[in-house]
Chain A
Amino acid sequence: MAAEKAEMDALKKECDGLRTQIEAARKGVNDGNMSSAAGSATDVGRVQLKLRKSLKGHLAKIYSMHWSSDSRSMVSASQDGKLLVWDTHTGNKLVAVPLKSAWVMSVAFAPSGNLVASGGLDNMCTVSNIKAASPKTLRELDAHTGYLSCCRFLSDTEILTASGDTTCCLWDLETGKQKIIFTNHIGDCMSLALSTDENTFVSGACDSLAKLWDLREGTCKQTFSGHTSDINFFPNGNAFVTGSDDCTCKMYDLRSDQEVITYQDASLNAGVTSLTLSNSGRLIFAGYDDFNCHIWDSLKGEKVGVLSGHDNRVSCTGVPADGMGVCTGSWDSFLKLWN
């Protein structure tokens, strides 16, 4: 027993030693900070977006939404047990997908627009074909031992999921089997974001770590500590932003391997539930528990606007590929489009 403990202590020590070295290496390249670099950027001024559309149709809290790559359709999931696919321009509902389990926590649209995936407390990711005459369940991916917190399609044949069982998983949709399991987190995985080149992805978990993974090899390339409730890539693919329920958002740079800026404001004491970025990466739209979505200037680190209008917590936000505006979904069962 004592020998085992000694071994563990030695390993822990080695681990800590390595971590200290990593921090030192990070400090070594840290020769500038964001506020000085952003000094030359033009001021964004006060951002005022107007409410353009309010999509009504769900009967219970909306937990998640995702834009289609055509920037017009969008799918949303609500705990009333339905997925609704909307044409955002007309406000019409295109498809309603009934769910076996109403406890849905995440939804995703395939880049082709043919498939949607959803999952939640049923521990499964259900993939449905919405282009069929009536939505057909294509696959039920059932291997996680914890709730499904996030899912993202790579293509019509591959999907990535994050689960409360602390693992993320890459599935082959043709066979319905797991291809790669990404284990390294020690807390529930809460969110994930794919890089644009689809070679890597970042995941955030309850152990307050964000990890960068190699999709091909299944290994964890880097770990960033901070916190995470939602996570998203900066459009040039070199950085990602995370939000958390300690009320702040942080941006981490992948090339210099460290946190570069924290977005916080003393007046904001509600946790961040979700966040998304505008096309140029200049604006961050973060949904908070205080029923608002606050807008941050990502480079200068200042709060530049707010989207108010929801009657309950903002649970999900998303900017479409063409960057036309931002959509916020809330527990008040409405989706609102702003620009």
Chain B
Amino acid sequence: MTINTMAKGGWHRDQMSCFRKMEKVIVAMQDPDMGMKMRNQRLLITVIPHAMTGRDIIDWLMKKYNICEEESLHISGLLVRYGYIYPLKEPRSLVLRPDESPYRFQTPYFWTSTRWPASELDYAIYLAKKNIRKQGELMEYEKERYSVLHKRINHTWDFVVMQAREQLRRKADRIVLECQEQAYWLINRPPPGAPNVLDMGLVRPHNTARVTLNSEHYKNEIDTCKRALGRNRVKSSICLEGFMKYSEQYQNHDPIMQGCLPSNPWISDDSAHWTMNLETVPTPTRLRVERWSFSFMELLNDEMGRREFMTYLEKEFSGENLAFWQACEDIKHGESSKIVEKVEEIYRNFLAPGAPRWVNIDSKTMDKTLLGIRHPHRFVMEDAQMHIYFLIKKDSYPRYLKSDLYKNLLAKGIVPQETKKSVFPFMRRQRHSSPSPAQVATQPTEEVGNAKGAGQAGTNSAAGSNV
């Protein structure tokens, strides 16, 4: 969920860390020794000092951080979009062109992190200046916002106009200041339709006023607490052991951790894995059959597993138990309108004296269930179903796992060959971070651990340069 809390004092802390990182890059770029070479750029007839071309920026980033051009374009694009570098040629188009287009550094006074959030007053002064400077220079959307502001902060309007005039009076470096200011406001008050990079999203309301904390509430709380207090608790050492065991057991079955055979369809574009693991296949994979032994629910949740288990049960003449369980599940998750008829069918087939597939339930549960059937509802079979579930789990299930039927299935289970071209995920015990794509070999090898080859594909490497 992406709703923020207003941290203390209403500060949005969210993107600050990104700004800090960007600022470090910018400072490095302006380093007198190792930074960028600035030159005078020609813009139409004027010569702008302290400017650089898009191409220079890309090249510098590539050299300094040892990254590929794609990544350099990405980073420099972010720097422009967040206002640390602004374009001189088409100020409204906040993209970084890797050519001769001129760019300049934004002055720290106008950095997003320094002057945040941009205030309405400042915006009003800016628009007023533009208006005074040249009548009709305001764009359509700026005129609208200007008049809205005029209404909203009318009480300080004199101040706004006075400030605007005062700032216009100071002529030194006016052009530069105008450029910088314009760039700042393009980002903080983007024109309609332009993406707002500083958008913080929906704000989470801070009030707890939705719930009145009266005695009614506390009485409920007390009930809840009493219930919570009475819960069964297990020692944490046992629980933690449980997590460890689970992770270990499932590690081979976790494609992100161990890869998957024949290949991960996302990597190799080969959907063989999915075909092999469809609901119904002639021969299941060994991993799948292995999973059935992890827990009874694993077996029941797999349609094929259920079918195989049913075959085994039929041999032992106890298939009606599983059939009963399945019928109860069907009632629980099916349509309400069919509940009555389904309950009747279950009674006829499984519970009535002399029923064709009579299930063995203890008398207490049976009585309770028969009583409940008079007023059938979704969970009327719950107790009986639980009873049978535990019966099968304790008795038939362990025997099934020891049976020849299961063992044969496991032995015959497919262990797919790793596809030649496949690339295993990079879950190796690598202690070093992945090599920069700029340095890797260009030939993909056929070995497992093809990290380097695949890395060439120009995708955003997870271990990208850290700023």
Contacts and interface: CB of A to CB of B under 8 A. Distances in A.
A61 B3 CA distance: 13
Contacts of B3: 105, 149, 190, 229
A221 interface: yes
A38 B248 CA distance: 11
Nearest to B460: A309
Interface in B425-441: 425-434
A236 to B, nearest CB: 4
Contacts of B426: 47-50
A324 B255 contact: yes
Contact of A323 (B7, B248, B254): B254
B454 to A, nearest CB: 6
Interface in A46-73: 46-53, 61, 63, 71-72
A12 B18 contact: no
Given A41-B247, A245-B4, A315-B2, A166 B233 contact: no
Contact of A255 (B17, B228, B239, B430): B239
Nearest to A228: B1
Interface in B217-236: 217-222, 224-229, 231-236
B210 A18 contact: no
Nearest to A256: B236
A31 B237 contact: yes
A206 to B, nearest CB: 6
B431 A49 contact: no
Nearest to A208: B5
Query: Main SS of the interface on chain A?
Result: loop
A221 B227 CA distance: 7
A206 B277 CA distance: 41
- Chain B interface category by residue count: 35 or more
A299 interface: yes
A298 B199 CA distance: 32
Contacts of B236: 29-33, 253, 256, 258, 260
A51 B459 contact: yes
Contacts of B201: 61, 313, 331
A41 B2 CA distance: 33
B237 A32 contact: yes
B55 interface: no
Nearest to A281: B247
A138 to B, nearest CB: 14
Interface in A218-273: 219-223, 229-230, 234-236, 238-239, 245, 253, 255-258, 260, 269-271, 273
Interface string A303-331: 00111110111011001001111100001
Nearest to A325: B266
Nearest to A59: B195
Nearest to B457: A50
A187 B211 CA distance: 8
A136 interface: no
B135 interface: no
Nearest to A305: B462
A94 interface: no
A290 B434 CA distance: 22
A114 to B, nearest CB: 13
A234 B243 CA distance: 9
A160 B5 CA distance: 25
B297 A197 contact: yes
A26 B250 contact: no
B14 A271 contact: yes
A92 interface: no
A257 to B, nearest CB: 5
A134 interface: no
A28 B196 CA distance: 52
Contact of B229 (A21, A31, A220): A21
A11 B250 contact: no
Contact of B251 (A19, A222, A282): A282
A37 B220 contact: no
Contacts of B217: 186
A273 B225 contact: no
Given A11-B215, A48-B451, A184 B220 contact: yes
Contacts of B337: 174
Interface stretch (B144-152, B160-168, B257-265, B304-312): B257-265
A154 B332 CA distance: 11
B205 interface: yes
Contacts of A291: 18
Contacts of A28: 233
Contact of B17 (A52, A197, A270): A270
B267 interface: yes
Contacts of B17: 269-270, 290
9 contacts: A50-B455, A149-B3, A166-B210, A185-B211, A196-B297, A239-B243, A269-B17, A325-B266, A339-B266
Given A165-B210, A309-B460, 19 more contacts: A18-B226, A31-B237, A44-B427, A49-B426, A51-B462, A61-B201, A174-B335, A206-B205, A260-B239, A269-B16, A271-B5, A279-B253, A280-B247, A299-B244, A305-B462, A309-B464, A324-B260, A324-B265, A339-B256
